[in-house]
Amino acid sequence: MSINKADAAYNMIKEAILTQEFPPKFHLKELELSEKLSLSRTPIREAIHRLTAEGFIEENENQISTVSDISLDNFIDIYQIRDSLEVLSVSLASKNWSDENKILEINEILKKQMESAEDLDCEVIPDDIGDFLNTETNRKYLKYDKLFHIKIAELSNNKLLHEETIKILDLYYRYNHFLTVKKRSKMDVYEHTEIFEAIKDRNTKYAIMLIREHLQSVRESILIGISKKNIKN
């Protein structure tokens, strides 16, 4: 079996989960997925096993695979892990960064995120916080938002930390769609910029303080959103 096909199945199924094309508790059937994705059942099965291990899919005692549910309790668990990883990322990044090209890359990400924030600001979207927002503009904004945090972890020069950050952010960003980011998109970019400047200046304590404030602010907005959506504990 081609590894590329397994990776393709993994990426397509995960993207469908993240955008709620496959919503929470959605029953994943290998045959239907095989037909939908034009892949054999073997890479589909491997992708499901991988996504189960990562927490995106659950398998019951009858070996029925469903998209994992979302809940306030689960969000808090994910947030606590993310908070610890992000604090470690900015701490190590501020001490260890050395590649100017990566600094330029993050500057470009921040520029694109601000452009996406401006596009989002102009888009007519529902103002009801708590609605699952899956517009192209919002997806683009969240892509750069997530990429910023991933690149900070990469600056830490800790490969395992970078890999684990990617995993936890994917789980976390299932919930970010329940935050109408239009309400604070530009503020997020300003906060990202402040964090990045502190890292570049190797001001570790200030960078840690800023990342904690940033994450707590976003956390509160998401909690309001998913509470209004009546997602239960």
Report pLDDT digits (tens) over 79-96. 999 999 999 999 999 999
Angle between the 41-54 and 30-37 helix axes, to the nearest 10 degrees? 110
pLDDT band at 53 (very low <50, low <70, confident <90, very high): very high
Confidence (pTM): 0.85
The backbone torsions φ and ψ at residue 158, rounded to the nearest 5 degrees and listed phi first, read: -120, 105
Output the CA torsion sign for 144, 146, 152, 154. negative
Report pLDDT digits (tens) over 158-182. 999 999 999 999 899 888 776 655 5
What local confidence, expressed as pLDDT, does residue 1 receive?
43
Domains of the chain: 3-67 (1.10.10.10), 72-228 (1.20.120.530)
